[in-house]
């Protein structure tokens, strides 16, 4: 994706960081357990990922069932329940994004689940004058739901029967990353519809009658729309099942086995690389600073539902999870174990205290964003915060960006402290 973010050089920030007294505690450094080693920390990282993907799967199944009910009986109550299930499913999934950078197996897979921004005209009807699609994308107005076949880049595809496999094949059709046929944002669009409010309050307002039968059907092809929603939610579930299996213990042939059998330093490098990449380049840069400085709601992450504040908040939570070795599951139970924090504490307690406190600061800053967006009185969604001349919104976002930039400096330092010299990505996503 895009690449615009240029924060202050981190080395400078590190050199000048004022020492923060140790006020944060590492939650996993229990009294009577053996000291953490790199190997046990990588093991526990795999446990954390497994629990997190299991939660993503559990909530995706609930979403699948809720959308099935909506398709069978398109009532306002069922639409509301489906939207709530989608919002709940985002909570664990956004926390898993920290596993994406560094673990090529996740990065190669995730495009089918969480690709954005999307040219939604590929999927369904759009209001043309409010629709800005990717330049040169031949699929941007294909409207699969309204068509028996689509032609993109000289290739004609039969889409008369909508199955999970077909949608998977249609993802990134014509070689455009904006042709997102699958995943959370496709489901989001099918539930909420286009957000036509720009920088003003309000999300997408898809009428429930878009799923009605017979003469009540609005905007045409209601049955096809239901078939699409059915197939795309089924695919989400099977995709997550696959990823859960990759992290499950006791399987010699899966990714977890490979990761835990490799040099422990490699695993530690992946953990730190995932934290730093999500923190700086992706969350602070792509997802916040670009949208803010260009006043661009096209660059808003959950743009149909206006749930962007939560996507950002739980991204931040995922970073903290990996550092502290702690994950709060959707059933409320807590996963804990040997952590990066334990390792850094052994090597440099002052740095560990500082990084823990910076992670807390980031969560506090993102918490302000979440609270402001969900405020019962006069809420301000992320797409309002990025509006031209919104000083309060700008401040809220800027505070989050700065907190993430600061913690990234300490993540780099933690890497050096743990003897990880190179923080370069592997070649995931490159096809030379």
Which residues make up the interface to another protein (CB under 8 A)?
1-13, 15-18, 101, 107, 117, 132-136, 153, 172, 174-178, 273, 276-282, 285-286, 293-296, 298-299, 388-389, 398, 401-402, 408, 411-412, 416, 421-425, 429-432
**Which residue has 């007294």 as its token pair?**
21
List C-alpha distances in Å: 56 to 239, 245, 251, 310: 11, 13, 20, 15
User: Please, what is the minimum distance in Å from the beta carbon of residue 103 to another protein?
Assistant: 13
User: Please, what is the minimum distance in Å from the beta carbon of residue 24 to another protein?
Assistant: 22
Distance between CA atoms of residues 340 and 276, nearest Å = 13
Tokens of 358: 């910076």
| Closer CB to another protein, 221 or 320, in the complex | 320
User: Please, what is the minimum distance in Å from the beta carbon of residue 295 to another protein?
Assistant: 4
| Closer CB to another protein, 2 or 375, in the complex | 2
Per-residue DSSP letters for 26-62? Answer: -TT--SSSPPP-HHHHHHHHHHHHHHHHHHHHHHHHH
Distance of CA 362 to the CA centre of its chain: 17
Q: Where are the beta strands (DSSP E) in 273-410?
A: 327-328, 334-335
User: Please, what is the minimum distance in Å from the beta carbon of residue 229 to another protein?
Assistant: 25
Asked if residue 354 lies in contact with residue 345, where contact means CB atoms within 8 angstroms, the answer is no
List C-alpha distances in Å: 315 to 63, 98, 225, 322, 367: 20, 7, 30, 11, 12
DSSP letter at 159?
A: -
User: Please, what is the minimum distance in Å from the beta carbon of residue 78 to another protein?
Assistant: 33
| Closer CB to another protein, 283 or 373, in the complex | 283
Closest CA to 407 of 288, 291, 308, 277: 277
| Closer CB to another protein, 6 or 21, in the complex | 6
Closest CA to 420 of 326, 344, 323, 336: 344
Closest CA to 247 of 39, 41, 54, 36: 54
Distance between CA atoms of residues 35 and 161, nearest Å = 57
User: Please, what is the minimum distance in Å from the beta carbon of residue 395 to another protein?
Assistant: 8
| Closer CB to another protein, 81 or 140, in the complex | 140
Distance between CA atoms of residues 270 and 256, nearest Å = 13
User: Please, what is the minimum distance in Å from the beta carbon of residue 408 to another protein?
Assistant: 5
| Closer CB to another protein, 6 or 252, in the complex | 6
| Closer CB to another protein, 256 or 287, in the complex | 287
User: Please, what is the minimum distance in Å from the beta carbon of residue 298 to another protein?
Assistant: 4
| Closer CB to another protein, 10 or 369, in the complex | 10
Asked if residue 392 lies in contact with residue 381, where contact means CB atoms within 8 angstroms, the answer is no
Distance of CA 67 to the CA centre of its chain: 21
User: Please, what is the minimum distance in Å from the beta carbon of residue 300 to another protein?
Assistant: 11
| Closer CB to another protein, 61 or 416, in the complex | 416
Pairing mode, if any, of strands 149-152 and 155-158?
A: antiparallel
């Amino acid at each position: 994706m895009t690449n615009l973010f240029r924060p202050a050089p981190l080395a400078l920030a590190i050199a000048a960081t004022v020492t923060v007294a140790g006020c944060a505690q590492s939650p996993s450094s229990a009294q009577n357990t053996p000291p953490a080693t790199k190997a046990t920390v990588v093991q526990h990282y795999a446990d954390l990922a497994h629990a997190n993907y299991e939660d993503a799967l559990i909530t995706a199944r609930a979403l699948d069932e809720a959308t099935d009910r909506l398709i069978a009986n398109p009532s306002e109550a069922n639409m509301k329940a489906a939207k709530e299930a989608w919002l709940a499913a985002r909570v664990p999934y956004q926390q898993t994004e920290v596993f994406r950078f560094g673990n090529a197996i996740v990065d190669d897979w995730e495009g089918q689940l969480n690709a954005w921004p999307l040219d939604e005209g590929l999927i369904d009807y759009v209001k043309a004058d409010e629709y800005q699609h990717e330049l040169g994308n031949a699929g941007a107005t294909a409207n699969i739901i309204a068509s028996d076949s689509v032609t993109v880049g000289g290739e004609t595809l039969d889409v008369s029967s909508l199955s999970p496999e077909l949608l998977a094949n249609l993802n990134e059709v014509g070689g455009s990353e904006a042709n997102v046929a699958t995943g959370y944002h496709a489901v989001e669009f099918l539930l909420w519809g286009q957000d036509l409010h720009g920088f003003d309050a309000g999300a997408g307002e898809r009428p429930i009658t878009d799923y009605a039968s017979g003469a009540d059907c609005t905007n045409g092809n209601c049955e096809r729309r239901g078939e699409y929603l059915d197939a795309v939610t089924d695919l989400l579930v099977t995709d997550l099942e696959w990823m859960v299996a990759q992290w499950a213990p006791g399987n010699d042939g899966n990714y977890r086995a490979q990761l835990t059998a490799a040099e422990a330093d490699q695993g530690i490098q992946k953990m730190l690389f995932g934290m730093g990449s999500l923190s700086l380049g992706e969350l602070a840069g792509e997802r916040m600073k670009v949208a803010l400085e260009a006043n661009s709601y096209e660059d808003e992450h959950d743009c149909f539902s206006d749930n962007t504040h939560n996507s950002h908040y739980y991204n931040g939570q995922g970073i903290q999870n990996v550092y502290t070795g702690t994950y709060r599951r959707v059933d409320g139970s807590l996963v804990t174990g040997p952590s990066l924090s334990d390792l850094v504490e052994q090597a440099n307690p002052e740095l560990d205290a500082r990084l823990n406190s910076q992670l807390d600061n980031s969560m506090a800053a993102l918490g302000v964003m979440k609270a402001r967006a969900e405020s019962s009185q006069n809420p301000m969604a992320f797409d309002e915060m990025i509006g031209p001349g919104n000083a309060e919104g700008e401040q809220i976002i800027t505070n989050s960006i700065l907190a993430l930039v600061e913690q990234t400096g300490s993540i780099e330092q933690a890497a050096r402290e743990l003897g990880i010299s190179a923080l370069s990505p592997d070649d995931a996503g490159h096809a030379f």
